[in-house]
Structure 1
Amino acid sequence: MTEIRVDVRRELIDWAFEITDLPPESQHKALQDTKWLQENFTHYLQPTVKQLGTFATRLHIPFGDLLLDKPPKLEDIRLAFRTQENAPAQVSLTVRDVIYEMQRKQAWFKENSQIATHRLAFIGSAAGSDANETLKAVNRYLVLAHFSSPRDLFKDLRNQLAEIGILVMQKGGAGLGTNRPLEVSELRAFVLLDDYAPLIFINQKDSYTARIFSLIHEFIHILHGMDELLSGNDRDIDEERHINKVTAAFLMPTPEFKVHFDRNNVDRTARFFGVSPQAVAIRAQSLD
């Protein structure tokens, strides 16, 4: 039986290696293992369809993109990301695939669940508000309770958000397997704004204390009606600081914080409120 081969442009192969999220050593091995990428091979740049599919899967590249005449232009992702250092995220293929998966889930929920049938009034309800007014808005929709573990607190807050119509999704990587982990340093959380089915994504690899903070942080983004890409300008930095301040104030209410704060045992205070010791220290400083 005659093998059916396809012609692939070298610039598309170079593009695939340029944008793949495989580590350098894995890229090198993929190059070595792929016979049709060796110039001395009889069918150089002429793989079978199966061989090309295997290569695309290995590099996490869409199969169809390798059959184009020229490399595709990646879609501009405009989302509000939370990274470990609270700075704009570098959007890798892994992050993109997670975003696209969440967009598909959000679209299915909106169109097929028969639950997202009316516009949610709280979206954008705190746009332009100062910290105090934003905090009041958060408290209108969420009730803070104390639990024995951050995991239970996270579960309670997630359930409260679900009850008012917000999808909260968690994953630790792209796809179905575990070979494409989503590192916390790259992405902690993001929000997909929608008037009927807003979605908050949380990196499942993060700690529960961090997930709690991210959950409230992203909810405030929804109250502000914002989901644009953080460009790193002063306005965005100020907005993130504003949201972090409100998040800390909600999770560590001033009266209770003054009662339970122990400067000699910050860890104990952190455990009581279900937050990180760093968050406690910052909150203590903000309250003098």
Structure 2
Amino acid sequence: MPQVNPQILVWAREAAGLGIDEAARALQLGGARQRGPEVLGEYEQGTKAPSRPLLLKMAKVYRRSLLTFYLQQPPVKSERGEDFRTLPGDRGYESAPKLDALVRDVFVRQRLVRSILEDVEEAEPLNFVGSITLAQPVDFAAKLICKRLSFDLNEFRRKKTVEEAFSYIRELTEKLGVFVLLIGNLGTHHTALGTDVFRGFALAEKVAPFIVVNDQDAKVAWSFTLLHELAHIWLGRTGLSGADFEQKIEQFCNDIASEILLPEAELDELRQLGGDRQEVISVISAFASRRKVSRALVVYRLLKRRQIDRKQWLDLTEEFRRSWEAERARKKEQAADAAGGPNYYVVKRHRVGNALVEFTRRAIAEGFVTPTKAGRILGVRPTNVQALVEVT
């Protein structure tokens, strides 16, 4: 068996964001004679060689492939693409290892999909990727994207729920050849990545581009994030997006998504916005609800039009955030009290998206992918692949 470089063990643990005590617990090391951290320390110092079963367990806990542990040296940190986020202080950076793991996973999925498309000779470059620049007017870019999507704003608003409205845009996006995933954690609620860490991620490849929408965000915000990331695809700019809009590219993508979902002319309805704070909140809430958009989007547009100042914008945005968090907590309690729950495979298919599930189903049927690789593409165990691709 090849020797394992102890530096790899230290690097893999630290890259996973785990301290030695936490990792030892997760690996179930230690016993009556020796504490877990001491045992793990011996492996990391090279005084004790890890067995293959332990390496398999490390691969799972540290979210790495087994082959990684046989590298001669720790690899150079992989790129996330550009980082378009603006985070106050160190907020969110404590989640960097989890975010790195999520982005790395998306890159792997994209490469597997692209490889299969190349094998079946269907790797046609998408000409809209990288087809616009920041120098072009927002309204022009918005119209260009809408036309290519065949997006109908009235159809979007006719949907009964914000989830159905999002599904409408997602389906149009996936028809273009862009895979859209809903991901906000690494498989468990303990690894959740809040919107203070990231809202979306765009992998702007010419073949099989991917978009990730953070499903920890309010559902009413998903459509906006999807269109924001789609604007990144049109710009050909791979990277992470956050909640702020200090960077020029983030403003540009925000403005495109805003113009698509809430055309400038409609804001004239709020030109006489006034009254006390509660009345303003009530008017904005009703306005946003009718249009299947978030209240945060409405006040962002009002700020851009200078109908409210930055102080009012910050106050209203914080109020809407608190309101959403209270509603989310209430629904979580109701769900905990309810018997049973939604089918695992139905939920998973929704998170992965019909396009990726159907792509994988076809690749399996035609013999172009093994269950192991199919599981990696879909983010499930190989034994769960067949059930997932068969669910409707």
Tell me the TM-score normalized by structure 2.
0.59
Alpha-carbon displacement from aligned partner over 1:93-131 (angstroms, at most 9, x marks no partner): 4223432343135315633677x5644333333223122
Q: Judge which range, 151-160 or 256-265, deviates more.
A: 256-265
**1:7–1:47 CA contact under 8 A, matched in 2:** no
Higher relative contact order structure (alpha carbons within 8 Å, sequence separation ≥ 6): 1
Q: 2:127 aligns with which of 112, 121, 129?
A: 121
Matches within 5 A, 1:249-268: 249-259=259-269, 263-265=280-282, 266-268=284-286
Change (3 A) 1:39 1:75: closer
Change (3 A) 1:204 1:104: farther
Change (3 A) 1:245 1:281: same
**2:182–2:213 CA contact under 8 A, matched in 1:** yes
Give 3-state SS (helix, strand or coil) of 1:75's partner.
Answer: coil
**1:135–1:246 CA contact under 8 A, matched in 2:** yes
Q: Cα offset for 1:58?
A: 2.0
Q: 1:188 aligns with which of 185, 190, 199?
A: 199
Tell me the TM-score normalized by structure 1.
0.77
Task: Specify every segment of 5 or more residues in structure 1 that has no aligned partner in the other structure, as ranges.
Answer: none
**2:162–2:292 CA contact under 8 A, matched in 1:** yes
Q: 1:62 aligns with which of 62, 65, 68?
A: 65
Q: Cα offset for 1:283?
A: 0.9
Q: 1:71 aligns with which of 69, 74, 80?
A: 74
- Please say if 1:204 is aligned against 2:204: no
- Please say if 1:100 is aligned against 2:96: no
- Please say if 1:248 is aligned against 2:258: yes
**Letter of the aligned partner of 2:217 in structure 1?**
D
Count of aligned pairs between the two proteins: 274
Change (3 A) 1:67 1:271: same
**1:188–1:206 CA contact under 8 A, matched in 2:** yes
Matches within 5 A, 1:77-156: 77-79=80-82, 90=96, 92-108=99-115, 110-111=117-118, 116=122, 118-127=124-133, 128-141=135-148, 142-144=151-153, 145-146=156-157, 147-156=159-168
> Residue in 2 aligned with 1:221?
232
Q: Cα offset for 1:252?
A: 0.9
Q: Cα offset for 1:25?
A: 5.8
Cα distance in 1 between the residues matched to 2:5 and 2:82: 33
Alpha-carbon displacement from aligned partner over 1:145-168 (angstroms, at most 9, x marks no partner): 303321111011111112333222
> Residue in 1 aligned with 2:297?
279
Cα distance in 1 between the residues matched to 2:235 and 2:100: 28
**Letter of the aligned partner of 1:126 in structure 2?**
I
Cα distance in 1 between the residues matched to 2:128 and 2:2: 53
Change (3 A) 1:24 1:258: farther
Give 3-state SS (helix, strand or coil) of 2:80's partner.
Answer: coil
